[in-house]
Amino acid sequence: MGDYSRLALLVSDSDRAQEAAEQVFRPLADWVPLEEADAAVVLGGDGFMLQSLHAMLDADRIVPAYGVNLGTVGFLMNRNRQPERLLARIAKAKELSISPLTMEARTQDGRTQRFCAINEVSLLRETRQTAKIEVSVDDKVRIKELVCDGVLLSTPAGSTAYNLSADGPILPLDSQLFALTPISAFRPRRWKGAIIPDRSCVTFRVLEADKRPVAAVADQRELRDVAEVRLEIARDKALTLLFDPGHTLDERIVAEQFVV
């Protein structure tokens, strides 16, 4: 629990979020700009929460974020209930720290780009031809040639997102693990992925890159025609999410495994 006396209000562009902000949330507090805030209230869905967290990373201004679900799934958000008690709920909220991935990618023309990913980094084929990717963990080649539509590395926070859709495992938030998951693997046909320690460094090297181009996507940011991608945890950029007691992300991850 924290003492958050100065709050910023971040609102999605959706009509639902904008209407709720004007009619309900803006009168509740004397909101301040993000650069002056102790914490941020984020109105929207999971996508806007990721966008807001990335904006904090880019600005090097990271404060705890309390999400109010005005989107669809709302896995990273709190329920939109009793908005008149918002300030009291924030005061009692539990803090959850998550560390993003840092991606260093080299393109075919030799450029290097660096991005952060809170959920996952995925490599995806750009054309009708399958991708061929060499997979290394801690500089040791584990798969010489993965023939696939793509491959991803997911954090625990992102394990219920794209990773789960690709039949990857759900990871508890305190597991200190990554999910390494193939996307429609053709060869080796029986490889279903791996669970590895989050202290690991994972490298994807694109084979036959000219013939079989591959894009790298770090959450919502895409870099096309990559030659090599190197991934590791960014502990120095830890983010804090605020959740109502009893509705933490840990509980949601457990509950998700019993959905039928």
| Count of C-beta atoms within a 10 Å radius of residue 35 | 9
Query: Which residues form the catalytic set?
Result: 46
Q: Is 57 helix (H, G, I), strand (E, B) or coil?
A: helix
Whether the Cβ atoms of residue 232 and residue 116 lie closer than 8 Å to each other: no
As given in the structure block, the two tokens for residue 214 are 């591959």
CA distance 62 to 38: 9
How many whole angstroms separate alpha carbon 115 and alpha carbon 159? 19
The amino acid present at 8, given as its one-letter code, is: A
The CA distance from 50 to 62, in Å, is: 13
